[in-house]
């Protein structure tokens, strides 16, 4: 998708978020957003289900309560992005930089997060059931009360990660 068209959709979404009459909620389901420059955008409550965001830069963006289910977010940068309460179920998020991102309450069930960088990420109360977190960097991540039942954490780096109250039944740790 062309940058000008993306910017127009983001601008209309901003108007929708501020209750302006000519605003419209962003619907980018299945959109081709590969390599898109989306730093600092507010796409709260937008629909990006099944979108291809491979290699995109979403650093510092606000994607809280956004639908990203089934999205391809491989090799993307989401540094310090706010994804609180976002739906990332079945998302493919491999080799991504999600360092210092906020994912509190996010649904990452059945997501493939293999070999990604989630250092210092906030995942308080996140649903990571059956997620593939193998070879993922979770150094200093806060996983308080996260649901990691059935998750694959093989070769994940959990150094200084906070796992207080986390559910780990059936998780693969070795």
Return per-residue pLDDT of the chain as tens, 174 residues.
888 999 999 999 999 999 999 999 999 999 999 999 999 999 999 999 999 999 999 999 999 999 999 999 999 999 999 999 999 999 999 999 999 999 999 999 999 999 999 999 999 999 999 999 999 999 999 999 999 999 999 999 999 999 999 999 999 998
The rounded distance, in Å, linking the Cα atoms of 153 and 136 is 8
Matching residue, tokens 């994607």: 63
Nearest alpha-carbon partner for 148 in 64, 140, 161: 161
* Model pLDDT, residue 131: 98
Per the CB < 8 A criterion, the answer to whether 64 and 85 are in contact is yes
> Rounded to the nearest 5 degrees, what angle is found at the Cα of 42, between the Cα atoms of 39 and 72?
65
Nearest alpha-carbon partner for 11 in 3, 89, 153, 133: 3
Per the CB < 8 A criterion, the answer to whether 83 and 106 are in contact is yes
Helix, strand, coil percentages for the chain (3-state, nearest 5): 10, 15, 75
CATH code of the domain made up of 31-174: 2.160.20.80
**Coil, strand or helix at 92:** strand
Q: The pTM is what?
A: 0.95
Domain ranges within the chain, ordered by starting residue: 31-174
Nearest alpha-carbon partner for 158 in 108, 111, 119, 109: 119
């Amino acid at each position: 998708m062309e940058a000008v068209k993306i910017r127009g959709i983001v601008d209309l979404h901003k108007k929708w978020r501020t209750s302006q009459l000519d605003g419209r909620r962003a619907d980018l389901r299945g959109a081709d957003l590969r390599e898109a420059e989306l730093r600092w955008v507010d796409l709260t409550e937008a629909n990006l289900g099944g979108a291809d965001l491979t290699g995109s830069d979403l650093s510092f963006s606000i994607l809280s309560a956004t639908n990203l289910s089934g999205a391809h977010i491989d090799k993307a940068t989401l540094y310090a992005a706010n994804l609180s309460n976002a739906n990332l179920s079945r998302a493919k998020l491999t080799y991504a930089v999600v360092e210092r991102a906020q994912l509190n309450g996010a649904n990452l069930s059945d997501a493939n997060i293999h070999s990604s960088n989630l250092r210092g990420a906030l995942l308080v109360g996140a649903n990571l059931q059956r997620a593939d977190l193998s070879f993922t960097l979770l150094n200093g991540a806060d996983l308080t009360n996260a649901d990691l039942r059935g998750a694959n954490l093989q070769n994940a780096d959990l150094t200084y990660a906070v796992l207080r109250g986390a559910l780990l039944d059936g998780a693969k740790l070795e």
